[in-house]
Structure 1
Amino acid sequence: MLSGFTTKFSTSSQQFTVLNRIAIEELEAWFLGDATAICQAYPKVAQLFTKRTRYRDPDAVKGGTWEALEALLKGKGYHQGGLNKVEAARTISEYMQPQNNQSPSFQCFNAGIQAFFR
C-alpha cells in the first residue's frame, strides 16, 4: 500500500489503483517490436528485417534502438535528414496492434494496463 493507494504489486486481488512501470529502454524498441506496423507505415520496409540479428529482440538492440530504427528507415529512403522521432511515432503507432508486439517490455506494460481496466 502506497499512501492509501493499492499497487498491483502489493495486492493479490485484481483491484489496484497504482500501476508501477518504468520505461528503461527507448520507446523505439516498442516500435521495432511491431514489424507489421512499421511495414504498413513505411511500405518500402520488408518484414524480413526481423530476421536480421540486430532486430530479432527489440528490447536488446545493440547500439541504441532509435539509431536502429533510423538506420532501417533511412536504408529504404525514409527520414533521410535524420529520424524525426515524433513523426515516426505518430506514423507507426497508427498501425500498431498491441497483441502482436514482440517486445517483452511492451507486453509487460500492456498487460499491466489491461489488468488496470479489468
Structure 2
Amino acid sequence: MSMHIEILVEDSSGEKLLEAVLPKILGDRGDPHTWRTHAYKGIGRIPRNLRGKADPGKRILLDQLPRLLQGYGRTPGIDAVVVVLDSDCRDCTLFLAELKALAAGCNPLPNTLFRLAIEEVEAWYLGDRQALEQAYPNAKRDVLNRYVQDSVCNTWELLADAVYSGGSAAVKKAGWPLPGQIKHEWAQEIGPLLDPERNVSPSFTKLRDGLRCLAAKGAV
C-alpha cells in the first residue's frame, strides 16, 4: 500500500540531504511511496499556544508548526508528516516531549513523526565515515577520530575542521553566507554517497527506521 508523506526540515541544506537519502530508505519516489520535502529558514521556537499568530512569510519552522500540522490534518491525500530538526544543545527527551505536546494540541492532527539530528545534521555525515572520506579524500583523519558519534561537540565546526581549508575558524571569520554554502556543499558531495544501512549515527538510524515503519504500517 502506498503512502504520501510530507517532510518538513529546518533549512535547505537539510532538504538537499534528505532528497539524496530518502530513495535509499523508502525506495524510488512513486514505487510505491511518494513524498515532498519542505525547507524552512530556521528552527525558531515552539509557540506558547496554538493560536499564536506567527508570520507565514518568515518560514520559521517551529513558529509555523501548529498551523502546518492542523492544515495537513485537514488535507486529503496526506498520510503522514515527518518533522526533521537539529537538537542543537537542547535536552532531546524534553524537546521531543514538547514537540509531542504541541502535536497533541492540534486538531485535526495528521499521523506525525518527529526525528532529531544529534546535535546537528552533520552527525549523519560523520556517521558514514566511508562516504565522507570518499567525498573528501584529504579529510583530516585525526580530527575525524576525535568525534564521538552523536555527541554535543559543535558538530558542524568539527566537520569543517576536518574537510575545509582553514577549518571552522576560517568559515566563521568569513561569515555569512559561507557557513550556509559549506553546508550545501556537504549535502551535495556527501549526501548521495551515504549508505543508510552502514550509517552508525543513532539519530540517523532512528530516522531511517521510523520512516520505514511509517511506510510499512502507516503508524509509528
TM-score (normalised: structure 2) = 0.39
- Work out which of the residue numbers 108, 112, 116 in structure 1 matches 2:210: 112
Contact 2:128 2:200 in 1 (8 A): yes
- Could you say which structure has the greater relative contact order, defined with CA pairs below 8 angstroms and 6 or more residues apart? 1
Contact 1:25 1:59 in 2 (8 A): yes
Partner of 1:12: none
Describe the SS at the equivalent of 1:19.
strand
User: Measured at CA, do residues 71 and 48 of structure 1 come closer, stay the same or move farther in structure 2, by a change above 3 Å?
Assistant: closer
* Residue-pair matches, total: 105
Alignment of 1:39-50 (within 5 A): 39-45=133-139
Contact 1:61 1:68 in 2 (8 A): no
TM-score (normalised: structure 1) = 0.69
Contact 1:37 1:92 in 2 (8 A): yes
Q: Which digits, 9 at most, give the CA deviation of each residue in 1:20-79, with x for residues without a partner? A: 3244521001111110110111122376765x2x21x320152x000000001136x899
Contact 1:73 1:79 in 2 (8 A): no
Contact 2:118 2:151 in 1 (8 A): no
Q: How many angstroms apart in 1 are the aligned matches of 2:168 and 2:185? A: 10
Gaps of 5+ in 2: 1-72, 81-109, 172-178
Which is greater in Rg? 2
Q: How many angstroms apart in 2 are the aligned matches of 1:22 and 1:61? A: 13
The letter of the residue matching 2:149 is: P
Alignment of 1:3-14 (within 5 A): none
Alignment of 1:42-81 (within 5 A): 42-45=136-139, 52=145, 54-55=146-147, 57-62=148-153, 64-74=154-164
User: Measured at CA, do residues 94 and 116 of structure 1 come closer, stay the same or move farther in structure 2, by a change above 3 Å?
Assistant: same
Gaps of 5+ in 1: 7-15
Contact 2:120 2:156 in 1 (8 A): yes
- Work out which of the residue numbers 159, 175, 189 in structure 2 matches 1:91: 189
Higher strand share: 2
- Greater alpha carbon shift after TM alignment, 101-110 vs 23-32: 23-32
Q: How many angstroms apart in 1 are the aligned matches of 2:151 and 2:139? A: 21
Describe the SS at the equivalent of 2:197.
helix
Q: Which digits, 9 at most, give the CA deviation of each residue in 1:88-117, with x for residues without a partner? A: 111100100011111111111111011111
CA RMSD of aligned residues (A): 3.5
The letter of the residue matching 1:67 is: E
Identity %, equivalent residues: 36
Contact 1:30 1:58 in 2 (8 A): no
